Structure 1
Amino acid sequence: MKKILLILGFLCCVITSTKAQVVGVDVGDIAPEIDLPNTKGENISLSSLRGSLVLVDFWASWCGPCIKEQPTLLKLHNTYPEKLSIYSISMDTKKPLWATAIAKGKLPWTNVSDLKYWQSPVVADYMLQSVPLNFLIDKNGIILAKNIHGKALEDMIKGLLDQK
């Protein structure tokens, strides 16, 4: 009887402590795949950036806080060019607005959009309700943080990349 209780106790511990990783938008989840065209019409998938730290950044040319954050992103991009990738998804509906904002901001990282605004499947996958919104993803596609901006974003990235 004791053996059976021990075995059942052990199995309960194993079952309750084992959590399979899921695709989702919570910290610890595997980031949902994104595969959208860049300004040249070439599709670029989020998973193609695996192997480095990735910041997935939802933004729009008409979003003041998004534009205000671009100098921070440029600084991070220039500080960690080989260790950090930025994957920006524009919520603009008109390509000229999107392309002009990229050129004006001199945004050298991966910029994609499907120009469908809130009807995009990516909006549902990432539960997007407003911009700016971002997700910091590790080299294996696991979400480390979400909606982290400014100094907090800089400090987290510095902490993750300077320790290597």
Structure 2
Amino acid sequence: MWISEKRNLNFLLKNLKRLQIQSLQNMKNCKTFLLASVVAVAGFSSCSQTAKIEGTLHDAPDSEVIVKLLDVNKYKVLDTLKTNQSGNYKYKLEVKAGQPEFVYLFYKDTKIASLLLQKGDKVNVSSDTLGSFSVTGSDETLKLMDVEKDEAEFNDKFLATAGRLADLTPDSDDAKALKKELSSQYVKYYRSRVKYILTNSHSLTSIPVLYQVVGNGIPVFGQNTDALHFRNICDSLKTVYPESKYVKALDLEAERRQQMLTLGSRISNAEQAGFPELELADVNGQKVKLSSVDSKVVMLYFWNSADAAQNMFNLEVMKHIYNDFHAKGLEIYAVSADTDKAAWASVVKGQKLPWINVCDGFGAASPAISLYNVASLPTVYFIVDGALTQTPKVKDEASLKAYLASVLK
């Protein structure tokens, strides 16, 4: 409502002091409000970096629930929770944005929940002490539960069929029929898993699918060409979760499998040599080609002179093997994954190793290591009559001697 300028001036003069006091109070209140708002926002931001679990373990009052985090390839215990008299428990863990976590709950040695938690998730878990459970509040967890359920059902069926097969005569018609059935079961499941990862290429639940095993450890994705699935899924996940430790680990595995695929391709397409060529310097600085070694059997031996156990292996096993079989047609081409060439040469000369010893000084980054897809040391390959063979099951001196005796008759 408008009033005259004179009345307005009198009003302002009369109430000037009160307005000044009120203004100061309003400023104070405003500062207090702003400060409280900042604190509240900071608190909310901090809290939003978590996921919350509320659960009930039925028929287990005053018990313990163990919370474990999947740390790439092993469990890490986060906490042990105490349930109340009703079996209820609560837990809150940090989950960073873009870095979901695989979390598992255990009652003693029994898994009672599998969770894939994202920042801000609030899940409710209901489980019993035998391992049956249900979860609400997380779509990714529901996917993970379906993945585990499908895997368990397939393995139960597959192992049951394999058990029936074990009781039959191998060449009987019934055995042949069961082998065909096992093959059919595997192919059907493999195709279903391929379909799953392709339709869920941006979900972290595809990672455990890629690592599933059949029976006693046979990988579902165990063919060399499955490297393509590992790479494609990894690249898709990197667009969504570039900082996830699970995606970074998958990236390394995809690279390893691609190297295996490349190695297999090189071996199958090699025209003159039946193996990838190496040309490295020996202790005298002279380069020695692997293809120049003219022996019926060449043991391609990857090792590291900085490892005391491998040095002892040279003295206690390798020298005996060499002395027993060298005259019969064995030569050893030993590639050392060392970065200190002087120290390597000192070990070779000190131990008086009589075979071909080479090293490029690049250690684990050596092209020879990646070319032959060496994942651990020591690693042994055999070139028999000029062709790289499938690595035999060599576990110790006895099995090594047995293999060499079989090919150096």
Alignment TM class, shorter chain as reference: 0.7 to 0.9
- Work out which of the two has the higher radius of gyration on C-alpha atoms and give 1 or 2: 2
Q: Please list, as runs of the form range in 1=range in 2, the aligned pairs for 1:45-84 lying within 5 A after superposition.
A: 45-70=289-314, 71-82=316-327, 83-84=329-330
Cα RMSD, aligned residues only: 2.3
Distance of aligned partners of 1:159 and 1:46 in 2 relative to their CA distance in 1, 3 Å threshold: same
Match of 2:25 in 1: none
TM-score (norm 1): 0.75
> Compared with structure 1, are the counterparts of its residues 99 and 152 closer, same or farther at alpha carbon in structure 2 (3 Å cutoff)?
same
Deviation at 1:152, TM superposition (A): 1.1
CA drift of 1:22 comes to: 4.7
Does 2:398 correspond to 1:157?
no
CA distance 1:24–1:69, change in 2 (3 Å): farther
**Alignment partners' CA distance in 1, 2:363 and 2:392:** 21
Unaligned runs of 5+ in 2: 1-263
Relative to its length, the structure with more helix (as a share) is 2
- State whether residues 58 and 90 of structure 1, in contact with CA within 8 Å, keep that contact through their aligned partners in structure 2: yes
For residues 81 and 160 of structure 1, what CA distance do their matches in structure 2 show?
A: 13
Give me the whole-angstrom Cα distance separating, in 1, the residues matched to 2:383 and 2:299: 6
Taking the aligned partners of 1:117 and 1:146, their CA distance within structure 2 comes to 25
Matches within 5 A, 1:8-27: 22-24=265-267
The amino acid of 2:310's aligned partner reads C
Relative contact order, higher structure (CA 8 A, sep 6+) = 1
Q: CA deviation at 1:46?
A: 0.7
Distance in 1 between residues matched to 2:294 and 2:373, nearest whole Å: 22
Superposition deviation, residue 73 in structure 1: 1.4
| Whole-angstrom distance in 1 between the partners of 2:373 and 2:392 | 12
Q: Is the alpha carbon distance of 1:47 and 1:156 closer, same or farther for their aligned partners in structure 2, counting shifts above 3 Å?
A: same
Matches within 5 A, 1:115-134: 115-134=361-380
Conserved? CA contact 1:57–1:134, under 8 Å: yes
SS in 2 for 1:66: helix
- Is contact 2:276-2:371 (8 Å) kept? yes
How many residues matched?
139
Deviations, residues 129-149 of structure 1 (Å, cap 9, x unaligned): 221011011021322425734
Counterpart among 28, 32, 36 of residue 280 in structure 2 = 36
With 128-137 and 64-73 compared, the bigger mean Cα shift is at 64-73
How far apart in 2 are the matches of 1:130 and 1:124? 11
Paired residue secondary structure (2:387) = coil
SS at match of 2:326: coil
What fraction of aligned residue pairs are identical, expressed as a percent? 26
Following the alignment from structure 1 to structure 2, what is the Cα–Cα distance between the partners of residues 159 and 146? 11
Distance between the aligned counterparts of 1:142 and 1:76, measured in 2? 20
The answer to whether the Cα contact below 8 Å between 2:337 and 2:364 also exists between their aligned partners in 1 is yes
